[in-house]
Chains A and B, each alone.
Chain A
């Protein structure tokens, strides 16, 4: 493999990893703070992708507008969904949570089918991000993918800043380690949870929106990405944002280079990685905590 190809694959691996990170951080936040395992997280990713598809033609091609409106809409949706459904799951045991959120996937998939149909759709790459830059003599790397990586990095930094440097973040971290204490301090834990949940949904939807022009929009797109997301969380350690980042990048590299070298067996590479981590460090790479 020549250097240019290697560089392209590295960039792809990082881009995929960063996108996974957005998803995984949403999942790990929701689980780390509220203790709910949410199988429907992939559906939020799908929601974002479909939002991008639906909003694109109406917003005159302004991609940034699509992203902003999409984030607001999905955050609002998450807010309502937490109030109407998820808040009832906190007291339930894991099995019930699994089944309830699994049922939610079924409902979402069917709703999508009824509202938007079952066809595969494309989302256009905005004009100012189309094309690529040259790498070596033969290869070029798409600007959009670079934008995707960049956007994810910005979001990762923002997430880190919010969690570690703001009052909201402090309440989130406190809520993660000691729910009763937080309540005792007079912080309305219900609203805190709702905000965190909405944030998790928004992150997942954003990942879907950013991914849409690259992967196109199709039924069940949430399913496979969700399971990879779980693998990331297991490898990185639940409740650890840093762990999610390291694990996402690791998974990105294993998956991308796995496809290059072992095309047929590439699908299982990520799971073998998980198996190795389980042998070596079952609690995940990072300890609990942000």
Chain B
């Protein structure tokens, strides 16, 4: 029975991935673009889920790593087509380095302090790109040619090609999802869960909890950097608003919309948020409210958090008592 559960747990996300792979056949250019955007933000949301859902660390500055990944991609590209084989590691590496710096310092604080410090460090990165020569100012910078993979004279991957981009983003999502599922079932993941529930107990048992949290923080930042690379490749441009606290707030929102504590939740939440935002901004659907979409979004968030704190997934899962949980967490690996 346990192995049945395990196979079943992989089935749903696997079906989802296959569905996404087949989708381009039926998508219009607008919806194609939307799906790529949603998938990309799902990666971003998943990276934060590692921190918030699995480790219990609420970071309000996660957009910094998305932005750094994007900016480094553009800055290191130069005038010609950059090699994705070089740019992707650079983007993720830069995000990892900043995550190490921010994590090392902010994890010396707890609770509300931690939230404020992560926000402040994201703001610092924002200012670097907004004010200094490095970033090209408030307008941002353009990517002249999108990254490619060129080996032995042939271009294997060209991110300017819509299909290539689509499947690259999908592959990145599958990778991220799979990595996090693996982490969750590993010793590291179980330790993170213990830290989330009761850090003091973990220390009493002998875990050096600071190191675990820092590792989670860096991994989360690196994965956000991956999303940043893809974002730069998709949009062909970056601007400082990518690091703004609106972006950091939005990704937290995606998690709570979908349901914290579930990997599926991050993906569902990203989709729900992007669709909601599109919805609230479309005049055809909401009429005169479209120009005041911020307010509509604001009220929706309040209603959601107040009434459905467990998110969409919480709504779908009936309140049933688990008789014999085989896994430590009440949540499944999907």
Given contacts A98-B115, A99-B301, A100-B302, contact A264 B133 (CB under 8 A): yes
**Contact indicator per residue, chain B 94-118, by CB within 8 Å of chain A (1) or not (0):** 0000000000011011011101110
* A114 CB–B CB distance under 8 Å: yes
How many angstroms from the CA of A194 to the CA of B113 in the assembled complex? 24
One of B52, B58, B117, B298 near A106 (C-beta < 8 A): B298
Q: Is the CB of A230 within 8 A of B120?
A: yes
Q: Which positions 239-290 of chain A face chain B at CB distance < 8 Å?
A: 264-268, 271-272, 274-275, 278-279, 282, 284
* Interface residue SS majority, chain A: helix
Given contacts A94-B115, A278-B105, contact A110 B124 (CB under 8 A): no
- The chain A residue with its CB closest to the CB of B297 is A106
**Contact indicator per residue, chain B 103-144, by CB within 8 Å of chain A (1) or not (0):** 001101101110111011101100110111100000000000
Q: Is the CB of A102 within 8 A of B249?
A: yes
Q: Which positions 28-87 of chain A face chain B at CB distance < 8 Å?
A: 31, 37
**Contact indicator per residue, chain B 37-61, by CB within 8 Å of chain A (1) or not (0):** 0000000000000001000001010
Minimum C-beta distance from B275 to chain A (A) = 18
**Contact indicator per residue, chain B 291-334, by CB within 8 Å of chain A (1) or not (0):** 01011011111100110010000000000000000000000000
How many angstroms from the CA of A223 to the CA of B123 in the assembled complex? 11
Q: Is the CB of B301 within 8 A of A114?
A: no
Q: Which positions 133-147 of chain A face chain B at CB distance < 8 Å?
A: none
Q: Is the CB of A227 within 8 A of B58?
A: no
One of A31, A100, A107 near B306 (C-beta < 8 A): A100
- The chain B residue with its CB closest to the CB of A279 is B105
- Please tell me the number of chain A residues within 8 Å of chain B, measured between CB atoms: 41
Q: Is the CB of B112 within 8 A of A104?
A: no
- The chain A residue with its CB closest to the CB of B303 is A103
Q: Is the CB of B116 within 8 A of A230?
A: yes
* Residues of chain B within 8 A of A268, CB atoms compared: 124, 127-128
Q: Is the CB of A103 within 8 A of B124?
A: no
* Residues of chain A within 8 A of B297, CB atoms compared: 103, 106
* Residues of chain B within 8 A of A233, CB atoms compared: 116
How many angstroms from the CA of A275 to the CA of B127 in the assembled complex? 15
Q: Is the CB of B52 within 8 A of A95?
A: yes
* B177 CB–A CB distance under 8 Å: no
Q: Which positions 88-138 of chain A face chain B at CB distance < 8 Å?
A: 88, 92, 94-96, 98-100, 102-107, 109-111, 113-114
* B252 CB–A CB distance under 8 Å: yes
* A238 CB–B CB distance under 8 Å: yes
* Residues of chain A within 8 A of B120, CB atoms compared: 227, 230-231, 234, 271, 274
Q: Is the CB of B116 within 8 A of A102?
A: no
Which one of A95, A111, A223, A284 has the greatest number of beta carbons of chain B within 10 Å? A95
Q: Is the CB of B112 within 8 A of A94?
A: yes
List the interface of chain B (C-beta within 8 A of A). 52, 58, 60, 105-106, 108-109, 111-113, 115-117, 119-121, 123-124, 127-128, 130-133, 245, 249, 252-253, 256, 260, 292, 294-295, 297-302, 305-306, 309
11 contacts between A and B (CB under 8 A): A95-B256, A103-B301, A103-B302, A104-B298, A107-B294, A107-B298, A107-B302, A111-B295, A114-B292, A268-B128, A282-B109
Ranked nearest first, the 10 interchain pairs of A and B with the lowest CB-CB distance are A106-B298, A267-B127, A110-B295, A271-B124, A103-B301, A107-B298, A282-B108, A230-B116, A103-B298, A110-B294
